Structure formats: structure tokens, C-alpha cells
Amino acid sequence: MTQPQNVIFWGAGATQALGIRMTSDQTKFIQCITGADAPPDKPLSPTKERIARALDPNGGEPLRSALVDLITILGDRDENYERIDAISEDERETMRRNWRVVEDSELDSRILHLRILYDWPALKSLVRICPGSSANTFRLNDLFNLLDMHGPLGFGVRAPTSSKGGGQVFDARRLIGAKNALRMLLGALFYIDYQECISSKRHVLKHYLDFASLLGQRMQREGNTLAGRPDQGCSFL
């Protein structure tokens, strides 16, 4: 406790100036891309339309098209809720456009592998049973809690699968896939926002770089002091 230390208070909105979305905007992204923000009696809007609204104002081409392709490959049709092997020709062509393989059998195998890892249809359904999923009261924490409290314990969850009514039980395996899909999509959102940042907000990003450089220099000086070495400066970059 006698050693000198640095303490940094880094709030949740520390990267807001860079255009990296905070939790409330991440929540809106998930609501929009899953279609949960639409009235429950309305059919799901097309994939491209939902993604365009979810990414606004960031996400120009080709990043927006890449996300559309990803959701298409993971299965955005009603048939994909119950059968991950329901692969349409459009989904197969989308996979072919993004992968080096051209044989249908290998394309189907790759699609199935991705759908097992990232259960997009399950995620779309589970969002709809969260409190306030179609309103401003929806919280991303509620969705994570739902996935964390049921999946590891081996419990299943019943959720609606379309606006036409009905539903199905998503077992623990599919809850794990839904959480993987949620984390992957949030990571994709951060990547898209960062690409927008480095293309249009480099002058703002420089302030963060300067802060990191100064912090690195200070920490190295402290290390030199504790080791009994003379301060020789720091080359952080």
C-alpha cells in the first residue's frame, strides 16, 4: 500500500465523443436489428431495412452490406426458427460471395457450423420476451440476465417465433448460441462505429492517444523509481 499508484475514473460515456455507442444506444441497436421495436402484430421488416435503421447514423458501405450478409447467412427467415438446416439458395449464394468455397455441400456445412455457434433466430425470439422489449423500457441487462440465468442451469425458455402467433421452447444449447450471437453483434457494432471514428473523427481520437501516451510515461517513471533507476523518459509509441 506504500507504493505509488495511479487511479483513473473512466465513466461509461468516456468514448461517446468518438461515436462509440453507449449502453442505451446498444440496446436500441439490438431492439431494431431483431425487429423487437416493431408492433407485435406486424410482420418482421426486411433484413436490409432493419439493419439500416439499427446502424444509423454510422455504417456506410461496404460494412452495412457485410452485416446484411452475416444476418442472411445465420438465417433470418421464419423457417430458420425450427430448422437450422433450412438453407435457401439466396443464403447459399451469400455464403459463396463471402467464402472461397464454391461447392454447395461445403457451403452448407459452413453455414450450419456458423448457425450452431451463433443462434440468430433464438436471439430474435428471446429479445421479445424481455420486459419492455418493444418500448423504451427495454434494458440490455435484462436480456443478458435471461441468458445467464437459464442457459448455464440447463433450463429452456419458451418464446414466440413470429408475429403470426405460436412459439417454441429454446433449450440451453440454443440459449448459449443466442448469447454468442448477441456478443458477436455487439462486437460488430463497436467495429463499425470505430471504423466511422477513424475516418471522420481522427482529431478527437488524438486526444485519447495523447492521454494514453502521458499515462504510459507516468507509469514508466513510477516503475523506474521503484526499481531505483534514473528516469530516462518514455517512448510510448
Between 40-54, 77-91, 177-191, 223-237, the lowest mean confidence (pLDDT) is in 223-237
> For residue 100, what pLDDT is reported?
85
3-class secondary-structure state, position 167: strand
**What confidence category does residue 27 fall into, taking pLDDT thresholds of 50, 70 and 90?**
very high
CA-closest candidate to residue 109, choices 123, 99, 119 = 99
Share of the chain above pLDDT 90, in %: 54
Most confident of 72-76, 152-156, 167-171: 72-76
Distance CA 39, CA 27 (A): 17
Q: Is the full-model pTM beyond 0.75? A: yes
> For residue 235, what pLDDT is reported?
47
> For residue 226, what pLDDT is reported?
77
CA-closest candidate to residue 179, choices 147, 152, 157 = 147
Distance CA 226, CA 4 (A): 9
> For residue 75, what pLDDT is reported?
96
Q: Which amino acid is at 75?
A: G
Report the DSSP pairing between strands 167-170 and 157-160. antiparallel
Distance CA 132, CA 36 (A): 10
